[in-house]
A and B are shown apart, each in its own frame.
Chain A
Amino acid sequence: MIAASARDVVMEFAGGDGPVRVLHGASLEVPAGGLTLLVGPSGCGKTTLLSVLSGTLAATAGEVEVMGERLSALDDAARVRLRRRRIGFIFQQYNLLPSLTAAENAAIPLVTAGMKLSEASRRAVPVLQRLGLGAHLDRLPRQLSGGQQQRVAIARALVHEPSLVVCDEPTAALDAKAGHTVMELLRSVAAAPDRAVLIVTHDSRIHGFADRIVEMEDGRVLGERPPPSRNDGYQGAVHD
């Protein structure tokens, strides 16, 4: 099953001297039940494609489908609803709310869906426990390490059981060991048959976790390349 797909997506940003084209007809399919890695040099348009694919940025041209819904056919409100129900987000900068505890941060997608914060936080507890944060439920983000914060962010991306989880450079701000842990967790998340995980990265150390690797360059998707043998993990970087 294809969780999300982009076909011939063109993205232009307004620039000083007219529009700047960042995506030149990029196409990509993200199948459920696996971890897809979108790789390429910095500035090639990976984040832009991820934003378009997750319905946070409207494409200039082309078709995007998420769980069978064509984004261009949805109005703003419907697109927000789709994000809220179907997509989990993990950012390079974690983007946790500094005054909420780990459990409360992880609970946010349930709260935006209308649940009370206390009830939602309770629901987030098992997710955090699975991610090894059972002892840190009531900590504020600033009391957690970078790796722990990213795991809270993962919990937040999973708490509402989305079909598609998108991650932008999830390991870029982490040291090798924390990055390894985070990738292990994301790979186990992707193992669920009805869930797709799409990770955008220029961190070649994490290629070993992928089920598929898709290469991008200059706003175009070049194609798939075979992942290195799966159990290499965090290549050559981890000694723990």
Chain B
Amino acid sequence: MIEIALRMLSGDRTKYLGLVSGIAFATLLIAQQASIFVSLMMRTANQVLDVREADLWVMDPRVRYVDEVEPLRDVDLARIRGVEGVEWAVPFYKGTAILRTREGLINQVSLVGVDDATLAGAPRKWVKGDLSALRRPNGIVLDLQGAQFIWPGEDVPLGRSAEINDVRVELTGIADVSPPFITFPIAYMRYSDAVRLLPPQRNVMSYVIVKAAAGTDPAELGARIAARTGLQALTWDAFAWRSVEYVLTRTGIPVNFGITVLLGILVGAAVTAQTFYLFVFENLRQFGALKAIGATNGQILAMVLAQAAVVGALGYGIGIGLCALFFEVTGGAAALEGFRLVPQVVGATGGVIALILVLSCLFSIRRVFVVDPAIVFRG
């Protein structure tokens, strides 16, 4: 019977193609929107995720996500270092500053200060220069996108000078880093240099990043640090998630995007369900004849499910392929930098499409189940 079901499909080329392209379209729509959403959310966490050296991030208890900085007192660093199980603990500065080019153009940049001694948290992939760039006094390292943004249309040479907060700095390196959620250029400096550029203030230390000693569970160490210092100490993944959650719950972005993704699912579901329903409906007479001849409802269900499985698998495959192609082609654009087809989205989209198809089947099959086999006697 399955064979007959598949022949019914392939024998009706127009509807077959219609179904497959409908599902491909739905898949593309859902996977693409959801991937953009997930990638965007990932950007929130990128600055945390990029610092691979550290197990823990220690911060003021009031901090809710990575871009919300409440500086710590300098003495906190020593107190954290005093907790047992800490391999090392170093300061990490994160803030914003104004960068002025020699041409007089002004850019807001995200300023990151990494520990002078260890350079923990520094970029790992270099486009120009290397880690020694950060050892030069008043040297700054920009992310590639940022450098291109500040000096558009140029292959920016090292040695270019600029001013940050009216202090002269020199471009000593260009790095490839994950794009942040807020797309300011990122300027990396040594911690001591970064702090010196800031207007006078009581506290400047944004975070302390901590490496746990071998054999120490980071989560346990975090709890210990929190208990000893009264600060907040999160593992890197907890902090990354906390940042994602913040954007999810506190901004309008997920709502807007959620609506788009939901719309994708709804449109996809509507297109798929309707085409499939139509296919079954137009074959109602064929199914009726089969029922009159002696096909059971179970056999008919198997036929419809087989048809759904085939068009579903084909359409889904094509849709995912097109989506991958989309991100491949648009990958070069800065706004979509780092956006990709997220594996979880591929899986989830498959689940959604399968669900849509199962529902379409159940919805359409009712028509076939209740169809009176006697309809085939009617003209």
**Residue ranges of A at the interface with B (Cβ–Cβ < 8 Å):** 47, 50-51, 56-57, 77, 80-81, 83-85, 87, 89, 91-93, 95, 97-100, 104, 108-109, 111-113, 116-117, 140, 156, 168
Contact = CB atoms under 8 A, between A and B. Distances in A.
20 contacts: A51-B377, A80-B291, A84-B294, A85-B294, A87-B294, A89-B292, A91-B376, A91-B377, A95-B285, A95-B289, A97-B4, A97-B289, A99-B11, A108-B290, A112-B1, A112-B299, A113-B294, A117-B3, A117-B4, A140-B11
B286 interface: yes
Interface in B8-22: 8, 10-12
A81 B294 contact: yes
A104 B6 CA distance: 13
A18 to B, nearest CB: 20
A171 B345 CA distance: 58
Of listed A47, A83, A112, residue having the most chain B CB within 10 A: A112
A47 B286 CA distance: 19
Given A99-B8, A99-B10, A56 B296 contact: no
Nearest to B286: A97
B202 interface: no
Q: Size band of the B side of the interface? A: 20 to 34
Q: Identify the 8 closest CB pairs spanning chains A and B, nearest first.
A: A99-B11, A84-B294, A95-B289, A51-B374, A56-B373, A117-B3, A57-B374, A83-B294
B200 interface: no
B378 interface: yes
A91 B374 CA distance: 10
Contacts of A98: 11-12, 286
Given A84-B294, A89-B376, 16 more contacts: A50-B377, A56-B372, A57-B373, A80-B295, A81-B294, A87-B294, A91-B289, A91-B376, A92-B379, A95-B288, A99-B11, A100-B4, A111-B4, A112-B295, A112-B296, A117-B4
A201 to B, nearest CB: 13
B7 interface: yes
B295 to A, nearest CB: 5
Contacts of A91: 289, 376-377
B293 A93 contact: no
Contacts of A84: 293-295
Nearest to A85: B294
Contacts of A51: 374, 377
Contacts of B296: 77, 80, 112
A108 B378 CA distance: 21
Given A111-B1, A111-B4, A56 B292 contact: yes
Contacts of B285: 95
A168 B8 contact: no
A83 B377 contact: no
A87 to B, nearest CB: 8
Nearest to B1: A111
A130 B286 CA distance: 26
Interface of B: 1, 3-4, 7-8, 10-12, 285-286, 288-296, 299, 372-374, 376-379
Of listed B4, B285, B286, B372, residue having the most chain A CB within 10 A: B4
Given A95-B286, A100-B7, A57 B293 contact: no
A89 B286 contact: no
Nearest to A114: B1
A158 to B, nearest CB: 12
Contacts of B10: 99
Of listed A57, A77, A80, residue having the most chain B CB within 10 A: A80
A98 B289 CA distance: 12
Nearest to A99: B11
Contact of B4 (A80, A108, A140, A168): A108
Nearest to B295: A112
Contacts of B291: 80
A50 B376 CA distance: 12
A42 to B, nearest CB: 11
B7 A99 contact: yes
B294 A80 contact: yes
Nearest to A87: B294
Nearest to B10: A99
A109 B378 CA distance: 21
B294 A92 contact: no
Contacts of B373: 56-57
A56 B374 contact: yes
Contacts of B289: 91, 95, 97
B34 to A, nearest CB: 36
Contacts of B294: 80-81, 83-85, 87, 109, 112-113
Contacts of B7: 97, 99-100, 104
B293 A156 contact: yes
Given A99-B7, A111-B4, A117-B3, A93 B12 contact: no
A109 B7 CA distance: 16
B292 A93 contact: no
Contacts of A112: 1, 290, 293-296, 299
A93 B376 contact: yes
